[in-house]
Each structure stands twice: as structure tokens, then as C-alpha cells.
Amino acid sequence: MAKPKKKSGREIFALGAEAVVEGALLAGCSFYAGYPITPSSEIMEGMASRLPGTSDGVFVQMEDEIASMGAVIGASLAGRKAMTATSGPGFSLMQEFIGYGCMIEAPLVIVNVMRGGPSTGLPTSPAQADVQQARWGTHGDHSVIVLSASDVQECLAMTVTAFNFAERYRTPVILLLDEITAHTREKITVPTPDSFEILYRLQPSMPPEWYKPFEETVRGVPPMPPLGAGYRYHVTGLTHDPLGFPTQRPDEIVALLERQFRKIDQFFFDIQLADEIETADAEIVVVAYGSVARSAQLAVAQAREKGVKAGLLKLKTLFPFPRTKLERLAPHCKILVVPEMNMGQMSREVKRVNTGQFAVRTINRVDGQIITPAEILKVLRRR
Amino acid sequence: MAERTQLIHHYLRHNKKFPHVYCAGCGHGIALGSLIRSVHALGWSKDEVVMVAGIGCSGRMAVYVDFNTVHAVHGRALTIATGIKLSNPNLKVIVVMGDGDALSIGGNHFIHAARRNIGLSVLVLNNNIYGMTGGQCSSTTPLGATTTTTPFGQMEKSFDLVELAAAAGANYVARASAFHAQGMDKLMQATFTHRGFSLLEVVSPCHTQYGRKNKFKTVVDMYRWLKESATPLEQYRKLSAEKAKGRIPLGVFVDRDEPSLEERYADLRADQTAQAGRR
Amino acid sequence: MSKKKGQSKVTVYPDWCKGCGLCAAFCPAKVLEIGADGKARAVREEDCVDCGFCELHCPDFAILVTPKDKSRRKDNHVVPAARE
């Protein structure tokens, strides 16, 4: 979705965080609310200097991460493409509003630059320990899209994808980066705006009195007009009927929640993004995401040199978990290696979808250090 | 009198259940009437009004009126309203909160919204209690009052909402009472049209959860008390400390004319665009 | 606004009235009472001075005070439609 149609654009030397800013502006983001937190603050600073110079861009620094999410949701209701960025502790504070965003189906993007935890943890060190929180952090059953990026160019592309998914599916989208990805500086190409597909939320074309803001539709995604456009409706975090008003009727409750899951599930194949590197004949495949995927890519190349039929499945979509990408490996691949900077969060998903085809090996680091290619290579060569 | 009640009916959502959910004699109903009359008097269209409400009795108000309505999460109405106002400053954003909503769980948002002087019209319906959840004490429950969580009397001091908003930098701060609806209409219209963060505290009796436990036999008794203790601010300021005790001053406490955040932001953007043009 | 007695009609919508008693307690002319059915009713309509307290303070929008003589209705007595 976010692949450039042709090679064009300007080259810059940028941090991952700066690439997120470029991506957001390309995607049409015109509202940013946030609260400073290491290691995500460069995104906020970038938006602060860039947004006021755009035709309608708004930047506001709020009093905390709760308020930041509230402002982003308000902006989304008012018709803006809106985002915020944070890190672990701030992400925890946002959870209440993430659930609200899912419930009212507000398109918005949250970037979480993961650092070591729990609690204040390791503010300046990388981790990938918020993976399951991104999926299940807010209370109640909900459906959400979680994406990831492993290098600076990908930070830009995945930010655009995050906005496109948010608008298309009317949902909060979480982009999980880690401290290394956000703080790596490298040369990237900022594509020209017309080289990307940019999506906008569906607008109602029916007369206002026909409009039902939470109506069942074929795609499961009702149109969403901005506040003040003549389609007066009610928005609430309470379980609501198709008109948006609170309901306790069992049939309406189940219809709402099932639609909210289905609108994402039914487009699973459009949403599951992963790069397959040397997997066609691989007997052992590394499943990795974020900065660890770069270590893994080198390890796979080195393993190939040593005659090991290794491959890499680089996950760009973490949730909904891209299980069919794994299933396609089964005929030739017997072993999966899941390296990650946590105690084993994505490997839980891998093990969950594994019905015995694979042996799953995990590599876990929680000491604030990156997982090196050598560590992965060692596991790849183990027989 | 003009036919005010029928006017109100024009602004209600006809597919909602009436009478509304509020208990008999609840001040929130009177405030809702005043709100509708004020919107009408200002000639605002339903489409340009956005009402953002919090959680609690006051939060229920959003369901009933035919505006663009947003029922936020507890305490966070101001944050959503800030996003809406900054995104589209043409919208008339009215925020309705209760005392627990605005001052306890949302206290931080409240002082910061006032500080940044964002152009919101904020109504805090202060009934000194958590009504919806069953009568627990709030941060405006008076010292000594009995509630379900202060069965032996409230030990903590209460917030003075007006003083708090004034100190935090609100552009306009006023207090009205549910017993004085005509005065409330005037103050509410001023709140709605004043630039920047404009606060109207509405003293709204809750007999069900507060009055019954605090020596008010009937809801009418609470309004009698309000009638007797409410004092116009000009008069209140002349009273000795002793005589002022227990009285509730009503009127306009702060009337500043600082530019609002969205106005400042529009200036910034104009500057930036001009600079970009020169480059 | 006329202070003359007996020129107003006081209507209570019993289905919306919750019987809180505010109108009856504070009516300066004692026009309203709470009846045995627990609802407000106008028992001395001829004494109404058209102060409007009950209409403004009814929390349930259940009371109307209107001029009896339709010709006395000024423009502001005609309910203007709310703007969409």
C-alpha cells in the first residue's frame, strides 16, 4: 500500500523519528498533540516545527499523554488526520483513550517508540516489550491494527501505511518502533506526494436524516463526516446502537462488537504485511520485527554463506498477526527462530498459530542491548 | 412569557426518552433549559454547536440535545474539546462536566485548559457529590458533609471552582445557581460568547444523593437554602467575613480579554505562511 | 410582560412532570399545587401574574405559561423554529 509507484523524491539524512514526521506529513496528517517522552520526543519536536507552516496544520503540547490522546480523538472527530507519539509509560497512560478510540471508531495513529520497562525502566535503551500491550492494553474486547518498522526508510513508509489503514478501517493504528529505529540516522528518499496512494475516510453522501454513524455496511466501516458538516450524531464510549446512542439490548451489543472485529478481520489479507527474504527454500526462518530484523537479515546472509538454508520473515504488521505468512513456510521450513528484545511476546503469537509444523526457538534480551547478528547466527547454525 | 418550554422541545432529540433521566427537582434539568435558551438567543445553528460532556449525571445531557454531541470518558471532556476547537475554530464547543468530572479525575485537564485559554465554553454543574455512582464525596463536598464514602463526615477541604479557574488563567469565570434561571441565562450567554476559556459554574442541587443525607428533607428545601444563601457578587464583597460565611456569591468573577489559543495559533500560522512565501 | 392577573393560561404536561414541587413551592401567586396524583396542576390559574418562574425552573420542561388572548401574543410568543 505504501510502496512508491516510481523512484522519485528527495534524499535526506534523517533519524527514524524524522522519517515518521516526513511520512505523517506526506499522508496528510494535520494535527499532532503530544507530551514529551524519551525516546520519542524527536517526533514531537519535528511536528512542532513543521505543522504551523502547513496550510491547516495544528500542533499542541498537552499536559500529559491522556490529554494528548483526547485531543487527537477530538481532532479526528473534527475531520483531521491526527497522530501522537510516545513511549512505554506514556503509552500506558493512553490506554483508556485507545479503547475509546476503538469504540467510537476514530481513525488516528499512535507511534510508540519502545524503551526498556516495566515502569520508568530504561528511558534511553531499546526494547520491544510493549507488543502485547499494543494489542491488549486497553480494557475490553477490541480489534486494533499494530504495525512496525525496522529501518529509517521503513519508518516513513509505515507511517503512511498507518494513516491509510486508520482512515480505511476507521480505527486507531499503533506503530511500534524501538529506540534504535527511532534514533538511527541514515540516508532515505522522501518520495513525492503523488507517488503514494493516500486514503481518506469515507464520507456520507446520503441526506443527514438517513445517516447512521455506526451502521452495518458491507465493509463494516460506516462513513464518517467531520463534526459540523450537517450530520449531527452522538458519540459515546458506551455500547451504542447504529445511531450512536447507548444501548443495553443484547442484539445491538453483539452487532456492534462483531462488526468492529469483522471490519478488520475481513481485510486480513490486505492488512498483513511482511517481507519475505530468502524464504522460498528456507529450512530455518527467523521471524523478526523492528531493529532486530536488521540483525536477523545479516545473520541470514551469513548463514547462507555457511550453507545453512536460512530465511527471514520480517513482520511489518504485528496485529492482526500475519499467520498465513507462517503457514506458507510449512512445506519446507521446520524451524522458526524468534529473536526479540523482550521475554517472549511475539513468540507467543508464533507458538499460538503453530500447530506442530515448526519447532520454535526464541532469543530474548531484556538488558537494554540490541540482539546482534552473531547471536542469531549461532542459533541458525545449531542443528 | 414567551413560550420557552416549546422552544426547548425544538432542540431536544425526539427519539430519546422523556422526561429525562434526572431525578425530580434536579438542577441539571434547569441548566439544560438555560443552555438551550442561550444557544437559541445567540442564533447559533444546531450544526455549528458541539457539546462535549463527561461522565456522570451531567454527561447524560449530551444524549438529549440535537447538537453534535460527544460523550467523553470520565474527566477527559476538555481534552477532546481542545482537539475539536483547535481543528475547527468555527465550531461552538460547549463542554458540560460535573464537579467530580472537572475537578477530581479531570483536575489536571481543567487547570491546563484554563491556562492555555483555549476557546471553550465550559459548564461545570456542581452538585457537591458523585450522583450517578451513588453519592460518594467529591472534591467540592463541603467539610463535614455526610456521603456514602464519608459516613463520619467529610474531613477534606473542598475546592472553590471559581478561585481555581481564576488562578489557572481562565478568561471568563462566573457562577450561577439553578434557583436563579434568568440570571443563569444571562451568564450562560456571556460564557458562550466570551473569547478564550470561559467557565460557568452552576450550583445545582442534588437531593437524591446529597440533600437527603445532609438535613434537607425535600428537594424544595435545597432550593430554599439556595435562595437564601445566594448573594450577588457585588453585595457579597461588601459583607464582613463573618456575614459572608456560608453564602454563595453569584456573578462574574473574572472578565479578561486575552487572545485565545486558537487565535494565537491562527496568527502563528499566518506568520509562518508569510515567511514561507518570502523564502 | 404583563403583571396583570388572570391573563395567562398555565399548562402542565403530566407525563413529563415528576412532581418535584419547585413550581408549587415558589409560585408567588400560589397558582400551582401538587395533586394527589403526584403531579403539578394549576389550581388558581386566574391568579397567575405571568412571572414565568415555573416555566424557567421546571427541570423537566413540563410547564407552559401562555397568554389566554391569542391577539395579545407578540412575536416573541411565536415559537421560532430552531436553526438546523
Q: What is the pLDDT of residues B22-70, one digit of tens each?
A: 999 999 999 999 999 999 999 999 999 999 999 999 999 999 999 999 9
Cell of A46: 519535528
| Residue B41 structural domain | 25-205+216-271
Residue type, A79: G
What is the residue range of A299's domain? 274-381
Short-list A206, A265, A254, CA closest to A230: A206
Angle between helices B27-41 and B181-193 (to 10 degrees): 50
Residue C52 to residue B46, Cβ atoms within 8 A: no
Work out the burial of residue A305: count CB atoms within 10 Å of its CB; fewer than 13 is exposed, 13-18 middle, 19 or more buried. exposed
Residues in a beta bridge with C40: C34
**Confidence band (pLDDT; 50, 70, 90) for A221?**
very high
B62 close to B96: Cβ distance less than 8 angstroms:
yes
A212 located within any domain: no
- How many distinct structural domains can be found in chain A? 2
Name the residue of chain B whose CA is nearest to A227's CA.
B68
Residue A230 lies in a domain: no
**Average confidence score pLDDT of chain B:** 96
**Interchain contact, C82 vs B10, CB within 8 Å:** yes
DSSP type of residue B96: E
CA separation for the pair B117, B168 (Å, rounded): 9
A44 and A190 share one domain? yes
Three-state DSSP state, A275: strand
Predicted interface score ipTM higher than 0.90: yes
Same domain, A278 and A191: no
Closest-CA residue to B170 (of B116, B226, B243): B116
Q: Is the dihedral of CA A36, A42, A48, A49 positive or negative?
A: positive
Q: Which grid coordinates are listed for A67?
A: 490529554
Same domain, A191 and A282: no
In 3-state terms, what secondary structure has residue A311?
A: strand
So what's the pLDDT on residue C1?
Answer: 46
**B117 φ/ψ sector (left φ>0, alpha ψ -120 to 50, else beta):** left
Mean pLDDT of chain A: 96
| pLDDT beneath 50: ranges in chain C | 1-2, 75-78
- B6: distance to nearest CA of chain C, Å? 7
Range with lowest mean pLDDT among A77-81, B207-211, C29-33, C67-71: C67-71
CA-based nearest residue to C58, from B59, B73, B37, A282: B37
How far is the CA of A58 from the CAs of A16, A25, A162, B120, in angstroms?
A: 22, 12, 19, 17
> What is the chain B residue with the closest CA to C58?
B30
Answer whether residue B72 is part of any domain. Answer: yes
Q: Could C22 and B25 be called an inter-chain contact, meaning their C-beta atoms sit closer than 8 Å?
A: yes
Per-residue pLDDT reduced to its tens digit, A343-377: 999 999 999 999 999 999 999 999 999 999 999 99
Residue A304 and residue A171 in one domain? no
Q: What are phi and psi of A337, to 5 degrees?
A: -115, 125
pLDDT in tens, C2-24: 457 889 999 999 999 999 999 99
Chain C touched by B28 (CB under 8 Å): yes
pLDDT of residue A349: 97
How many Cβ atoms are within 10 Å of C62's Cβ, its own excluded?
25
Chain A positions with Cβ closer than 8 Å to B: 31, 33, 52-53, 55, 57-58, 60, 62-64, 66-80, 82, 96-97, 100, 226-230, 232-238, 243, 245-246
pLDDT tens track for B140-161 = 999 999 999 999 999 999 999 9
Domain count, chain B: 1
**Strand pairing category for A145-148 and A335-340:** unpaired
* Residue tagged 490486505 (cell numbers): A270
Q: Could you give the 3-state DSSP secondary structure of residue A169?
A: helix
CB C77 within 8 A of CB B24: no
Cβ contact A54:A43 at 8 Å:
no
Nearest CA distance, A278 vs chain B (angstrom): 46
Cα(C4)–Cα(B121) distance, integer angstroms: 38
Query: What CATH number does residue A334 fall under?
Result: 3.40.50.920
- Backbone phi, then psi, for B136, in 5-degree steps? -85, 160
Helix (H) or strand (E) holding B53: strand B49-53
Of the three residues A179, A195, A211, the one that is the final residue of a domain is A195
Per-residue pLDDT tens over the stretch A307-344: 999 999 999 999 999 999 999 999 999 999 999 999 99
Residue with cell 525502566: A121
Does A183 reside within a domain? yes
Domain membership of residue A224 (yes or no) is: no
Joined together, the cell numbers standing for residue A258 give 462483531
Q: Which of A129, A60, A62, A139 is nearest to A89 (CA)?
A: A129
What CATH number has the domain bearing residue A48? 3.40.50.970
Q: What is the pLDDT of residue B10?
A: 94
What digits encode the pLDDT tens for the residues B232-264? Answer: 999 999 999 999 999 999 999 999 999 999 999
Is A307 inside any structural domain? yes
Let me know the angle formed at the C-alpha of A371 by A368 and A376, rounded to the nearest 5 degrees: 160
C16 to chain B, closest Cα gap in Å: 5
Give me A300's grid cell: 541470514
Which of A158, A176, A195 terminates a domain? The answer is A195
What angle, rounded to 10 degrees, do the helices at B107-116 and B77-87 form? Answer: 30
Would you call A234 and B71 a contact, using CB atoms and an 8 Å cutoff? yes
Q: Nearest by CB to C18, from B24, B28, B224: name it.
A: B24
* Domain annotation covers residue A132: yes
In this predicted structure, what is the pLDDT of residue A117?
92
A63 → closest Cβ in B50, B80, B109:
B109
The number of residues in chain C equals: 84
Q: Is residue B185 part of a domain?
A: yes
Domain endpoint, select from A156, A175, A195: A195
* CATH number of the domain enclosing B155: 3.40.50.970
Could you read off the pLDDT of A11-35 as tens digits, one per residue? Answer: 999 999 999 999 999 999 999 999 9
Cα-flanking dihedrals φ and ψ of residue B176, to 5°? Answer: -125, 170
> How do residues A136-152 score in pLDDT, each as one tens digit?
999 999 999 999 999 99
Give the pLDDT score at C77: 46
Whether residues A21 and A129 share a domain: the answer is: yes
Digit-coded pLDDT (tens) for B216-230: 999 999 999 999 999
pLDDT at B278 over 90: no
The answer to whether residues A184 and A55 belong to one domain is yes
Q: Does A226 reside within a domain?
A: no
Domains of chain C with CATH codes: 8-68 (3.30.70.20)
**Domain for residue A99, yes or no?**
yes
Pair (A177, A61) in one structural domain: yes
C-alpha cell at A32: 499532532
For residue A1, give the DSSP letter.
-
Interface test with B, best of C56, C64, C75 (most B CBs within 10 A): C56
A126 contacts A190 by C-beta, under 8 angstroms? no
Per-residue DSSP letters for chain C? ----TT-EEEEE-TTT-----HHHHH-TT--EEE-TTSSEEES-GGG-----HHHHH-TTS-EEEEESSGGG--GGGS-PPPP-
